[in-house]
Amino acid sequence: MNQIDQLISQAGIQGTFDLRCLYRGGFRLPHAQSPAGVMPFHLLMKGEIRVSTAQGDDVVLRPGDLLLLPGGEPHTIWREGDTLALAEPGDGLLPLRGDGGDQVEFLCGEYRYQGPLRPLLLDALPSPLCIPLLASESQQALRLVLSLIHQELQREQQGSGAVLTALSQVLLAMGLRAHASDPHGALGLVGALQDPRLGRSLQAMLADPAHPWSVDELAALAAMSCATYFRHFRQRLGCSVWDFMVRVRMVRAAELLRHPDQLPLGEVAQRVGYQSEASFAKAFKQSSGMAPGRFRQQGWPALLG
């Protein structure tokens, strides 16, 4: 399993499409702040639209563009032009919104992740993040995915809902892979893993969070001096090496705590690099807001309320 596969699996992210939009005139479609554990996304199938956030970002989407909003911030999808009367909602596979036209088609959905700990996969990703799927090296495969999504929406056969849900997962994995291979420089942890020097140390930490990593070891893996390594690390990931290491350990601990084997807390602590259960429990509570025992008892769905 490569690192992106591992991060997606570890995150426990589940995707769904929840709205299909068809327009020929101008429109404004506002989206409120998403709750914790939800990352909205939009996929443009046809035409051109803009997405503006409350922070002042303004992104143009073209066919095949996937927009992720890891921060879940309020945003508005819009298009200039005369506003036409809204068409009656249809009874299609997805709720339909629009003015009865077909010049612009896009899908809205969300990726949900469980638990109080933000997945490592989303670390340092900008929000919003626009991924031009059809400009990637895998554009042929991605064209097939987009075609399958369109076919399921048109045919509305038995099981189409399940197929669309599965395709949303494929879309995220292939989108992140396309982002990782961006020649202009991928961002976030996904991009940092591709860094020819920094990537080696990140892979080592992710592969063995129990190891008592030292500055010298990590800098040596990156073929840098300690000072250069620390500086480069913060520039790429926006946090210190040690803050990241704690994140890796706590996310791994959460994964072990929800495992059906019910490992003793002392063993969970050792597997994530803590020699005492007490020091592990303190670190876990600082990161997640609750003790590991309570986390295990309540489970992630309960924590989401």
Q: Would you place residue 305 in the very low, low, confident or very high pLDDT band (cuts 50, 70, 90)?
A: very low
Q: Would you place residue 299 in the very low, low, confident or very high pLDDT band (cuts 50, 70, 90)?
A: low
C-alpha 60: how far from chain center: 20
**Joined tokens for residue 224:** 């840098």
Whether 100 has a pLDDT exceeding 60, the answer reads: yes
Q: Would you place residue 304 in the very low, low, confident or very high pLDDT band (cuts 50, 70, 90)?
A: very low
Q: What is the pLDDT of residue 282?
A: 93
Q: Would you place residue 301 in the very low, low, confident or very high pLDDT band (cuts 50, 70, 90)?
A: very low
For 263, residues 6+ apart whose C-beta sits below 8 A from its C-beta are 256, 257, 271
Domains and CATH numbers, the chain: 3-184 (2.60.120.10), 195-303 (1.10.10.60)
153 in Cβ contact with 94 (< 8 Å): yes
Q: What is the pLDDT of residue 303?
A: 38
Nearest of 22, 27, 49 to residue 153 by alpha carbon? 22
Whether 154 has a pLDDT exceeding 90, the answer reads: no
pLDDT single digits (tens) 238-278: 889 999 999 999 988 988 888 777 889 999 999 999 999 99
Say how far apart CA 162 and CA 170 lie, in whole Å.
13
The dihedral over CA atoms of 289, 292, 296, 298, expressed in degrees to the nearest 10, equals -30
Give Cα separations from 57 to 48, 51, 131, 140, 161 (angstroms).
Answer: 17, 8, 15, 30, 32
**Tokens 């790429």 -> residue:** 236
Pairwise pLDDT comparison (222 vs 238), residue with the higher score = 222
For 132, residues 6+ apart whose C-beta sits below 8 A from its C-beta are 62, 64, 65, 178
Q: What is the pLDDT of residue 184?
A: 61
Handedness of CA 254, 256, 257, 259 (dihedral sign): positive
Query: What are 265's strand-pairing partners?
Result: none
Q: What is the CA radius of gyration of the chain?
A: 21
- Model's pTM, two decimal places? 0.82
DSSP letter assigned to residue 83 = B
